Structure 1
Amino acid sequence: MTPPSFTKNIGRRRALHLPVALAFLAPLALGQTPQPAAATPQITPSTLKNLSLEQLSQIEVTSPTREPTSAFRSPTAIYVLTGEDIRRSGVTTIPDALRLVPGVEVAQIDSSKWSVGIRGFGTRLSRSVLVLIDGRTVYSPLFAGTYWEVQDTLLEDIERIEVIRGPGGTIWGPNAINGVINIITKTTRDTQGTYASGGGGNYALGFFNFRYGGTNGKGLSYRFYAKAYGYGPEYHYNHDNFDSWSGGQSGFRIDWPAGTRDAFTLEGDVYKQEDGERVSLTTYTPPLTKIVNGEADLSGGNLLFHWTRTLNERNNFQLQAFYDRTNRYEPNFGDRLNTYDLDFVGQTKIPWHQQLSYGVEGRLYEGHFLEVTPGLVFYPADRTDYLVSGFLQDDISLVEQKLVLSAGSKVLHTNYTGAQFQPNIRLAWTPTSKQTLWASFTHAVRTPSDAEEDFYLSSFLNYTASGLPFFGRFNPNPYFAPEQLNGYELGYRQLVTKKLYIDIAGFFNHYHNLFSQDLTAPISLETSLPFAPSTPVAPYLMVSAQFQNDLYGDTAGGEIAPEWRPLNFWRLRGSYSYLNMNLSKAAGTAVGGTPANVAGSSPRNEVSFDSSFEIPRKVKFDFVYRYVSALPAVSAPAYSTGDARIAWYIRHHLEFTLVGRNLFQPYHIEYVADPGGPVAIRRNVFAALAWR
């Protein structure tokens, strides 16, 4: 099938009606007339780029404790990717922005799909990484992980992305076994006025972004946005270009500081997207299996409410509730999922230089699986999952401004597990204001997914010598156990001079109960469809396997990330990430998820270097070099490539940008996923205009 053109896709009313309508109805809903932008605070996201290294080292983050703390003093391997970093990189998607973070592995599979991992275990859905957008988890319980193609917002509105390399389960809960990616958008006070941009090129065929922010003059401020985009196919060696994609998204946010003690936020998004896909369908009737090029129809929306209250100088709390809806209709299955979440977090300062953080959370999932082929079956098709959890952490200042001990644990319970504990203990020593040495021990878990407990996957393998078709089937495991991690980390940060900063982190992780796939039954002769014994078919042979917890082992490695500013208008940054995975398998015959497959899906070495050069108010030039070692399990050779961006302010508010990505080769392979076959990522050149 030839994928539809960008013009056809981007013009479909059903793809864009809801997002655009919401965006332009937002001001009417507020009942207010937009006002001029408020006075700029002393330090805002827009002025972050002008800070010195010493000032940047004092940036506050919320991911380690859910309370603003100094990133420089944090006893975690945290990296802050600012909105300015994202804009100057020239990327157009969140996964591509994450390539800038040390220790994060990003491999593009085709035009709309990525594999993302932190310190190993990179997969299509990133099942070992917890991803949040403004505190809203986007982790799917269906197949365990994050569908990166639908995680989007206006990139211009991202204030920062906080990435924790290493387990974060004590604070954030299950599935943060290898790390946390926390995407934080700007407040509406920092997005006043009009922003519009648009452009296109050889692969990013066309994109348009619009945002407007205003205020009612009484403290309440708001913004609404809309965006549309269309991307062409990547390079296919057989010229079967199936992976074009297009869509649109819009949303709003309202911030209201009600007096000096309370602050309220209400935000929401809707999206519609169509992605070209290639899938394999198993039918049990001739031709038994077929490869289909089709489209995935993806849509959804969310609504989030956040309340922060300061009780007094020692006590405060946050209450957050959100609803999320996702709809996925792919050529081989369909799924609807509703997520309801209520989260309470409090902080209180107690005697002897201690601060307690505590919280409780409840989450409910309601899902429905639509069967398209007998080769993909959820039983039962309707699912209700729940999660309840609570945590307590104490940060103790043993030596004021010098030595801080943090200890705590989260306990959680889901419908698939009993009580699971996720303790951690961390120590940060800051001998001077320019140095921090830290160490930690953490235990974290990944809870079972619906697929591991309730999913049946069949596939035609071949014909036997007797002429009978031979099928394989993966059966779920109702006793699938949570994956477990014990993690040990050590890190050091130093502001060496006013122009040189260095961040070093090392880790050793021990895993057990890791996901595997084992043969569980002898070959049998079947004469009916699975789950439909009254539907006869021609005889076939079946071999069965099951999802198991038979992998275990260790990973070790580290990251080093220096930053140097030789001149006020020139910034140089680099990073090197090393990973060694030593995994083994318990008794049993593996048919998938072998130690070699898991370890071979992540690069052993990654190197990056970027240069940002600026002639004030005139021209900005940015260049990024990347090297990624081979991923043998997914047939991806090592590669080097470079990205470049040049921006010129034609007028005070009008910026012209020219971006080239993957410049070193016409195309290169990053990850081969069956049945998509080898899809190579193209060189991408585009131009854009932006009005700020």
Structure 2
Amino acid sequence: MLILPRASLLYAVCVFMSFSAVANIEQEFDELDALLNMPLDSLTETKVVTATKTSLSLSDVPASVHVITSKEIERSSARSIADVLILAPGLHVAKFSDYDWTVSARSKNQGENNTLLVMIDGRSTVNPMYSGVNWDTLPVSLDNIDRIEVVLGSVGTIWGGNAVNGVINIITKDAENAPKAQVSAAVGNFDYKEFKAHHSGQINDYTHLSGYIESLQHSPFTDKDPHFNEIRHLKVLTERFGMRADYQNQQNTVSMQFGGIRSREDYQWLQYTPAFLDPASHQNDYDAFFTEMNSQELFAGFQYLHDKLDGDQWENQLWLTHSESDGTNEPASFTRFDLDTRYTFNTQDFGALTIGANARIIDEEYAQFTEKEQYFSPYVRTIEDHEFLNQSYGIYTNWSINVTDSTEVTLGNRIQYANITEEWYSQPQVRALQKLTDNQRLWMGWGRAVITPSRLELDTQFQENYSCSSCGYYDPATGSVYDKPVNGTIGPVDYLQAYKYLGNRDLEMESVDTYEIGYRYWQDNQFQLSMSLFYSQHDNVRAYKNLGGYVYTSSAGSDTSIGTVIHDMYAQLIDPLSQETMGGEISAQWRPIDVLQVNANYSYKTIKGDCTGSICGSNDLPVLDLENTPSHYATLHIMWDIHPTVWVSSVVNYVSASEPDEALIEAYKDYGDDYLVWPEIITLDMSVNWQHKPTWPSIKVSAENLGSDQLKEYPEQYGPFANGTQYYAEISWNFI
């Protein structure tokens, strides 16, 4: 309720600014007016490539597809890719801190999300060591994005690994259309500072070149809790760069890219110093210190497309990526080689047949830790085989058949091999599209996708540690440690505790079958409506099984203890769960007048879990935890060019609270009633932009989380930071 007065006030300020500007500006706005007047493209005019790897009109894609345009990105107030994605239906975007997000599609949101494939120009950004996406270190500039294509549902036939519940393909601008001679700088609260420089130019009649550099600094959190006062000086510094060259001559198009990113994060870390290792010199349980965590990525790519005169196409992509991180949760580096080639036969009689093949080779290298070092950090990930050549090969085909003038059927399959498991697996699909009228489409489909196996879940061990001196009392009869003396205990003792989460080589392959049906309607360039319903069956879902623990004792310890107790507790990944997910998405775009565009979307999902096996008989907690997710998601985005010199924009985002089962709440009652609840989210972001003339700099003022200061977007279970209201001011100037 608090956001409405602030929204009204900001719109009033915008209107006042526009009328004040009118009194002083010149009469000639033709060029600037043309720049701002970007009409809503109809579905037939919007081209997408992610669903089929070929360029198709959005109206004729037999899948749930949404496109976020460059204009919508600019008008969204977003400062990151993850924040932009709230504009698409079917995605749950949750912000953990000022540089951590998780994004999910048609599933429960979690950090290690390997059911959503995220790409930049067709290059996977999924970290094979982490089985997820590091959203803050994606090597792409917001200003360089042409569009973001979001495909919901199974796209495994086309893209293979991780394209299970959806695909996000971030497509950058070609060199000819990239920003030219553009420099911008922005400042904001919470120590936000950003500098960007972009340029592009023509080399000859066939070749264009573009490039950019960016530097961003900000606080790692916007939580105002007094407990963080001593670490408010910490900073996150991110630097990006990219270059692109495009050559086009008749039927041949060649694109080359090179870029990278580096992130340096100030971090308060600690190292445990168990007394039994050196009792004579022991003083503290741990040494706290400030350090810097680093990650970086470099990539290079080559793309070649040949359009034959008969309509056939031959496309090749080659990518080389090197990434490394020194964080103890993913202490690894990898060098990845990706090759994809496809040939599309276009015939009037039989439709379009695409045949392709891909190869992915990843040279993985994990950091090594001694047995003692594994107990020194609060958490650490280890693996026995520190070097591994991860290989995956696949062939796929996709055939779109024109059954009648108004009916099209698509059949496809991918056969993939992974040397991690030494197995072959299949990912088929069947889809159909019916042209009801010139501006209406009905589509339906089924697809099966397999989650690419990773060494993270098969071979690694994640260890969480806790150590303190003279803080426990040991019962030799049971091997238990208590925080106060009870009958039979001895002490005080030093206590070293380690939770070890083990991978499992016997896990079955996770697979998801998805059934969908959808409808599209559009009215010229004024209105668009897309609706879809889905049902998916996800088998072999992972859970941890408690394996018990082992207690070791040592007579050595601190001066105030009689010795040390080391308690190792083990849990291992198993695959006893399955889940049924069902729901739908609605997306509408409306342009009532030329200067006003309204985008709205709503999504619903519900998860029903099941469990078979040894961990299922004692309680239902694994299933109930799987089902604990928000069900309702909605976004409203309004873009208004109130004058040729001024535009305003607002984005309202809503996520419903989750409703955990009473048995789940009861099991965690000692932590509080809201410990497991995903909180309700209502946020308002707004932007105002003013530019006197095209040759003048533009000034943009933005605000995020208006009326929702110190909002947490995760359950307390995960220990999230609160996100504060943030303000930014940006000046941007095109010198040419």
TM-score (norm 1): 0.86
1:69 is the counterpart of 2:73: no
Greater per-residue strand proportion: 1
Q: Which residue of 1 aligns with 2:389?
A: 384
Separation in 1, partners of 2:640, 2:592: 11
Q: Which residue of 2 aligns with 1:503?
A: 530
1:79 is the counterpart of 2:66: yes
Separation in 1, partners of 2:389, 2:716: 30
Separation in 1, partners of 2:252, 2:510: 40
Separation in 2, partners of 1:283, 1:488: 54
Q: Which residue of 1 aligns with 2:31?
A: none
For structure 1, the 5+ residue unaligned runs are 1-45, 529-536
Bigger CA drift: 299-308 or 350-359? 350-359
Q: Which residue of 84, 100, 105 maps to 1:118? A: 105
Q: Per the alignment, in what secondary structure is the counterpart of residue 451 of structure 1?
A: helix
List aligned pairs for 1:460-609, cutoff 5 A. 460=465, 464-465=481-482, 466=489, 469-496=496-523, 499-519=526-546, 521-526=547-552, 538-589=564-615, 594-600=622-628, 602-609=629-636
Q: Per the alignment, in what secondary structure is the counterpart of residue 399 of structure 1?
A: coil
Q: Which residue of 1 aligns with 2:19?
A: none
Superposition deviation, residue 296 in structure 1: 1.9
Q: Which residue of 1 aligns with 2:434?
A: 429
Q: Which residue of 2 aligns with 1:256?
A: 247
CA distance 1:284–1:101, change in 2 (3 Å): farther
Q: Which residue of 1 aligns with 2:323?
A: 326
Render the CA deviation track for 1:8-38: whole Å, top value 9, x for unaligned: xxxxxxxxxxxxxxxxxxxxxxxxxxxxxxx
Q: Per the alignment, in what secondary structure is the counterpart of residue 625 of structure 2?
A: helix
Q: Which residue of 291, 295, 300 maps to 2:297? A: 300
Q: Which residue of 137, 140, 155 maps to 1:150? A: 137
Separation in 2, partners of 1:176, 1:282: 41
Q: Per the alignment, in what secondary structure is the counterpart of residue 723 of structure 2?
A: strand
Amino acid in structure 1 at the alignment position of 2:624: A
1:246 is the counterpart of 2:289: no
Separation in 2, partners of 1:267, 1:322: 9
Superposition deviation, residue 661 in structure 1: 0.8
Superposition deviation, residue 592 in structure 1: 12
Q: Which residue of 1 aligns with 2:256?
A: 266
Q: Which residue of 1 aligns with 2:366?
A: 369
Q: Which residue of 303, 325, 345 maps to 1:348? A: 345
CA distance 1:52–1:88, change in 2 (3 Å): closer
Q: Per the alignment, in what secondary structure is the counterpart of residue 667 of structure 1?
A: coil
CA distance 1:597–1:245, change in 2 (3 Å): farther
Render the CA deviation track for 1:380-439: whole Å, top value 9, x for unaligned: 122221110110010001122x21100100110111231110000001111112101110
Q: Which residue of 2 aligns with 1:50?
A: 38
CA distance 1:497–1:70, change in 2 (3 Å): closer
1:206 is the counterpart of 2:232: no
Separation in 2, partners of 1:294, 1:430: 60
Separation in 2, partners of 1:48, 1:582: 47
CA distance 1:410–1:154, change in 2 (3 Å): same
Q: Which residue of 2 aligns with 1:532?
A: none
Render the CA deviation track for 1:536-569: whole Å, top value 9, x for unaligned: x955233322111111020011111122222111
- Conserved 8 A contact 1:203-1:682: no
Q: Per the alignment, in what secondary structure is the counterpart of residue 428 of structure 2?
A: strand
Separation in 2, partners of 1:411, 1:239: 53
CA distance 1:227–1:384, change in 2 (3 Å): same
- Conserved 8 A contact 1:125-1:148: no
Separation in 1, partners of 2:389, 2:303: 25
1:671 is the counterpart of 2:697: no
- Conserved 8 A contact 2:363-2:388: yes
Q: Per the alignment, in what secondary structure is the counterpart of residue 594 of structure 1?
A: helix
Q: Which residue of 1 aligns with 2:411?
A: 407
Separation in 1, partners of 2:583, 2:240: 39
Q: Which residue of 2 aligns with 1:180?
A: 167
- Conserved 8 A contact 1:220-1:254: yes
Q: Per the alignment, in what secondary structure is the counterpart of residue 681 of structure 1?
A: coil
Q: Which residue of 1 aligns with 2:424?
A: 419
Amino acid in structure 1 at the alignment position of 2:243: F
- Conserved 8 A contact 1:408-1:424: yes
CA distance 1:469–1:349, change in 2 (3 Å): same
Separation in 2, partners of 1:609, 1:193: 31
- Conserved 8 A contact 1:347-1:358: yes
1:627 is the counterpart of 2:657: no
Amino acid in structure 2 at the alignment position of 1:329: D
Separation in 1, partners of 2:109, 2:353: 34
Separation in 2, partners of 1:506, 1:291: 52
Separation in 2, partners of 1:581, 1:470: 35
Superposition deviation, residue 652 in structure 1: 1.6
Q: Per the alignment, in what secondary structure is the counterpart of residue 136 of structure 2?
A: helix
Separation in 2, partners of 1:47, 1:482: 51
- Conserved 8 A contact 2:713-2:720: no
- Conserved 8 A contact 2:138-2:261: no
Separation in 2, partners of 1:191, 1:331: 38
Render the CA deviation track for 1:443-473: whole Å, top value 9, x for unaligned: 1110221111111122347951355655332
CA distance 1:572–1:289, change in 2 (3 Å): same
1:453 is the counterpart of 2:441: no
Bigger CA drift: 590-599 or 101-110? 590-599
- Conserved 8 A contact 1:578-1:605: yes
Separation in 1, partners of 2:732, 2:699: 7
Separation in 2, partners of 1:593, 1:282: 33
Separation in 1, partners of 2:35, 2:124: 29
Separation in 2, partners of 1:409, 1:47: 44
Bigger CA drift: 224-233 or 471-480? 471-480
CA distance 1:526–1:74, change in 2 (3 Å): same
Bigger CA drift: 280-289 or 558-567? 280-289
Superposition deviation, residue 134 in structure 1: 0.8
Superposition deviation, residue 495 in structure 1: 1.4
- Conserved 8 A contact 1:303-1:323: yes
Q: Which residue of 1 aligns with 2:225?
A: 237
CA distance 1:56–1:688, change in 2 (3 Å): farther
CA distance 1:333–1:73, change in 2 (3 Å): closer
- Conserved 8 A contact 1:578-1:606: yes
CA distance 1:495–1:639, change in 2 (3 Å): same
Q: Per the alignment, in what secondary structure is the counterpart of residue 679 of structure 1?
A: coil
Separation in 1, partners of 2:270, 2:167: 32
Superposition deviation, residue 284 in structure 1: 6.9
Q: Which residue of 1 aligns with 2:679?
A: 637
CA-based RMSD of the aligned residues comes to 2.6
Task: Work out which of the two has the higher radius of gyration on C-alpha atoms and give 1 or 2.
Answer: 2
- Conserved 8 A contact 2:43-2:528: no
Bigger CA drift: 418-427 or 666-675? 666-675
Render the CA deviation track for 1:478-519: whole Å, top value 9, x for unaligned: 122221101001111111575332111111011111111112
- Conserved 8 A contact 1:517-1:593: no
CA distance 1:125–1:646, change in 2 (3 Å): farther
Bigger CA drift: 60-69 or 188-197? 188-197
TM-score (norm 2): 0.81
Amino acid in structure 1 at the alignment position of 2:680: A
Separation in 1, partners of 2:507, 2:615: 17
Superposition deviation, residue 587 in structure 1: 2.2
CA distance 1:635–1:192, change in 2 (3 Å): closer
Superposition deviation, residue 49 in structure 1: 6.2
Q: Per the alignment, in what secondary structure is the counterpart of residue 59 of structure 2?
A: coil
CA distance 1:216–1:593, change in 2 (3 Å): farther
**How many residues are paired up?**
633
CA distance 1:353–1:48, change in 2 (3 Å): farther
